[in-house]
Structure 1
Amino acid sequence: MSVNVGDIAPNFELPDIDLKMRTLNEFKGKKIILSFFVAASSPICENEMCNFRDSWKEISNLGAQVVAISNDGPFANKAFAQKHNLNFPLLADYNSKTIRDYDVLMPHLLHIKDYNAAKRSVFIIMEDGKIGYKWVSEDPLKEPNYEEIKKFLK
């Protein structure tokens, strides 16, 4: 089932890089940039996550928090986060449940049968828990429009 602008964002409970379980509810009260990324340490994902890292101050000043999710395990995410000094939570959806809840499952990454990954996508969840912005790409090599995201936050 598709999740659209105006819908209540599906909750999740996923481990972060330190194996602490994190939920969507703990970030309520501010806007959340929920970024689903394809694979830790892949070149486009590095660009995307580093762009969010480098925009951290501006995003924070706009009252928002970045939370990134992939179906990589917490250990791969930890190595990725440490290598790039990422300053926001990276969550491991290793069974793709949350990825399915947001309807952004890519079932055959780069034509490898049954290699599940998240479609590169961004949801902005508003303070009331509803989705205010949605961008989903069928092309794992396409990055989101960062300026559009910041403009939406303003």
Structure 2
Amino acid sequence: MVLNVGDLAPNFELPDTELKMRTLDEFKGKKIVLSFIVAASSPVCEVELCTFRDSWKEISDMGAQIISISNDGPFANKAFAEKHNFNFPLLGDYTSKTIKEYDILLKDLLHIKDYNAAKRSVFIIMEDGKVGYKWVSEDPLKEPNYEEIKNFLK
């Protein structure tokens, strides 16, 4: 099922870097910048999440929370998060269940059979739980438009 602007965002329950299970519902009441990355510690994902880290205060001041999801496990995510001092949750969707629910599964990454990941994507979930903004890239090397995201939050 394709997830579109105006649709209710699927809830999830995924482990963070401390093995605590986190849900979308726990962040309700504010806008959520939900960033799906291709792979922890990959170069473009590093740039993307460091950009979000460096914009955290500005985004937070606009009443929004950043959450990032990769299909990596919590241990790879923890090493990645600690290396770059991320100030937002990085969750592991190691079964790709949430990635599939958001209809952003990237199959056979790097032409490796069954090496699946998330398409680089950003969803902004509004206070009512509905998708207000959606950006999905077929190109794992393409970064989101950070200014467009901030302008949407304003």
TM-score (norm 1): 0.99
Which letter does structure 2 place at the counterpart of 1:100? K
Aligned match of 2:105: 105
Q: 2-side partners of 1:79 and 1:97: how far apart?
A: 23
Q: 2-side partners of 1:129 and 1:25: how far apart?
A: 8
Aligned-pair CA distance for 1:110: 1.4
Where do 1:12-23 residues align within 5 Å? 12-23=12-23
Q: 2-side partners of 1:74 and 1:107: how far apart?
A: 21
Aligned match of 1:62: 62
Aligned-pair identity in percent equals 81
Aligned match of 2:43: 43
Aligned match of 2:9: 9
Aligned match of 2:121: 121
Aligned match of 2:94: 94
Aligned match of 1:153: 153
Aligned-pair CA distance for 1:111: 1.1
1:140 has 2:140 as partner: yes
Q: 1-side partners of 2:71 and 2:97: how far apart?
A: 9
Q: 2-side partners of 1:114 and 1:94: how far apart?
A: 13
SS of alignment partner, residue 78 of structure 1: helix
Aligned-pair CA distance for 1:112: 1.0
Aligned-pair CA distance for 1:113: 1.1
Unaligned regions of 5+ residues in structure 1, if any? none
Unaligned regions of 5+ residues in structure 2, if any? none
Aligned-pair CA distance for 1:40: 0.4
Q: 2-side partners of 1:129 and 1:36: how far apart?
A: 17
Aligned match of 2:52: 52
- Cα deviation digits, residues 14-54 of structure 1 (max 9, x gap): 00000000000000000000000000000000000000000
SS of alignment partner, residue 152 of structure 2: helix
Which letter does structure 2 place at the counterpart of 1:145? N
TM-score (norm 2): 0.99
Q: 1-side partners of 2:105 and 2:116: how far apart?
A: 7
Q: 2-side partners of 1:139 and 1:113: how far apart?
A: 18
Which letter does structure 1 place at the counterpart of 2:140? P
**Mean Cα displacement is larger for which, 25-34 or 104-113?**
104-113
